[in-house]
Structure 1
């Protein structure tokens, strides 16, 4: 994938959202039993959004430039968009109105030493910092232990999207809810593509995954989007077994685009006990690594 054409993104997103809604879901009468289109017709979306048919057709063909917030809100309501989809629509509109420019490579992100200190100060919960492309930028000791299957490859920074789609056998063993995880990864990458359509590294990642994974191509084509949110993650760790983890994903206002992710478990649960075992194992591994380094030195 050499580029992510913004007009194509807009066209495919709006048409896919229109196709999933029936007239009955909107309160419109479905005249005639032989509808040639799946979901709503363009004129029905225009009616629901309170705009002319010509204006909606122009928007669905990829032109959101100049659309007011009021029009976008009305369109989001007409298409029954959820919060993530609404945000995605607004991202696409902002990018549509922005001056066109070449693909751009973002400067390499260096995680500040104070953030690394915060990570290292968290000793009883896996924690890491990543970006919207799923690059793993920094981890604490327990985070490295938890994600040891993800870190097994030599490529750096490690990337959980690549792990999920390009190492599916291991990823299916590791993630209990692999299918949901795979869908969320593609949906969050799609969200980032709307926010930063000229990001060269994102374009390269989506191109690589599209080339190498049929599953990714299917999930990407769905046009689904997701927000980075808190939730649950269930893994089968090769050392300590099953872990049912609560996940908090925190945006870092001083570091746009970065997320601070922490995994915890309620005290007294099997997962809390297994996390303690994992911490003991991680400390042993760290000790061994230090001893080897000292011996080699």
Structure 2
């Protein structure tokens, strides 16, 4: 579980404070960070005396004089704790607390997105290993002149598997933002039951896409209608909702795709 530490002091002091809090057994309720994480409730200490009354040993871990412990929670999942420390005693008024709680929410979302990106990268690498064979079988009286894959998004022919991404047409973030259980999210991430849920594309065409909605379109014009159909089919397959911006983008694109056909099977 990551811990982030911030300070208004010097860089060296900040690093020392961060190391002290990270080394602390803060997953326990006997520490302010551990209690904040377990309860999901931020903790504020205006001065060392207030900290000492609640946690007698905690205040000696840094030379600071006021602290804010912000649990980083996303959809009831604990992703870390942000620790802010001050060089001087600091009274946390209602405005300060509201601002810091909002800051903690933004940091939690950013960390969750970063973890999601790492998970997606690892998954894509694993799928590349599984779906894109690195060697071909040897056949008598047959010589392989070349092997290639045409990227769906930009119609670029690729002969090096390392230059391909296995991408989810509807980004993984859609599953992570839903109220699904972890097992259901994993099923979505590994969906091999639909040939259009996962596509092989060049890394350069996929990376700018990030987690955008259908407002982003593949560079290849010939792929755009298929992309819209696959997006809708995946949403229907997994019973995912769409928001207003997404609906507007799809309706606008549908006007240019009169012959587009949406086919899907509901995911088990």
Normalising to structure 2: TM-score of the pair? 0.30
Compare relative contact order (CA 8 Å, sep 6+) and give the higher one, 1 or 2: 1
Larger radius of gyration: 2
- Higher helix proportion, which one? 1
Normalising to structure 1: TM-score of the pair? 0.28
